[in-house]
A and B are shown apart, each in its own frame.
Chain A
Amino acid sequence: DQQVKQNSPSLSVQEGRISILNCDYTNSMFDYFLWYKKYPAEGPTFLISISSIKDKNEDGRFTVFLNKSAKHLSLHIVPSQPGDSAVYFCAAHYGGATNKLIFGTGTLLAVQP
């Protein structure tokens, strides 16, 4: 039961251009959505989040957009840098007594110099 899906296993972008990573979810009960970045042999690192009542959140080069009617969110990185090359996981949060994250399968971003 894949509640959080990232349909693109990989993405390659030129340095300086925009990277757009996509994520779809199925459960309307999620209250927050988050993006994590992961390098090999390291734990996931929190990047940015968005509440389910918002449609956009921006932090520096990173912007997350949420389309609740489509159950879709995206992470925009502008401009992309080679150091951004990593696996990006979308995660959705169940609140209340559950309070856990459900992760997508990840998208490997390669930013070419």
Chain B
Amino acid sequence: EPEVTQTPSHQVTQMGQEVILRCVPISNHLYFYWYRQILGQKVEFLVSFYNNEISEKSEIFDDQFSVERPDGSNFTLKIRSTKLEDSAMYFCASGTSETGELFFGEGSRLTVL
């Protein structure tokens, strides 16, 4: 069964360092997303991506964040200069339709020290 894959599963970084989280969405999907979940809290929307551009971003997704789909298969989230409060589980998701059924990856746990 097709699935969304994410790497790395866990990354530990120092505050101020750049981090890139990678995702391979399901191949025929058109909509791509990043969500995050801080420990014990809800799953929060970060950004949606469609037709090679950002369709919407949340207040969390400030200038330190960027997304790219560089080669038609990967979908990356870059955090330019990490802060302690960026520590969270980051989930990539993709979907085909406009009914909201998204398929999520297993997540990348980011720990900022």
Min Cβ gap A34→B in Å is 5
Once the chains bind, are B55 and A99 in contact (CB under 8 Å)? yes
- Give the docked Cα–Cα distance between A45 and B106 (Å): 10
Size of A's binding interface in residues, CB under 8 A = 28
Partner of B100, one of A38, A45, A89, A91: A91
A residues adjacent to B (C-beta < 8 A): 31-32, 34, 36, 38, 41-46, 49, 51, 89, 91, 93, 95-106
- Nearest first, the 9 closest Cβ-Cβ pairs linking A and B are A93-B100, A43-B104, A103-B43, A105-B42, A32-B100, A44-B104, A32-B99, A100-B48, A43-B91
- Give the docked Cα–Cα distance between A46 and B4 (Å): 13
User: Could you list 13 A-B pairs, sorted by A, with CB under 8 Å?
Assistant: A31-B99, A34-B101, A36-B104, A38-B43, A41-B106, A41-B107, A43-B107, A45-B104, A46-B101, A46-B103, A49-B101, A89-B42, A104-B42
Interface of chain B, main secondary structure: strand
Q: Which residues of A contact B45 (CB under 8 A)?
A: 100-103
Once the chains bind, are B106 and A43 in contact (CB under 8 Å)? yes
Residue B63 is within 8 A (CB to CB) of chain A in the complex? no
Residue B75 is within 8 A (CB to CB) of chain A in the complex? no
Q: Which residues of B contact A38 (CB under 8 A)?
A: 43
Once the chains bind, are A43 and B56 in contact (CB under 8 Å)? no
Residue B28 is within 8 A (CB to CB) of chain A in the complex? no
Q: Which residues of B contact A102 (CB under 8 A)?
A: 45
- Give the docked Cα–Cα distance between A76 and B103 (Å): 22
Once the chains bind, are B106 and A100 in contact (CB under 8 Å)? no
- Give the docked Cα–Cα distance between A97 and B4 (Å): 23
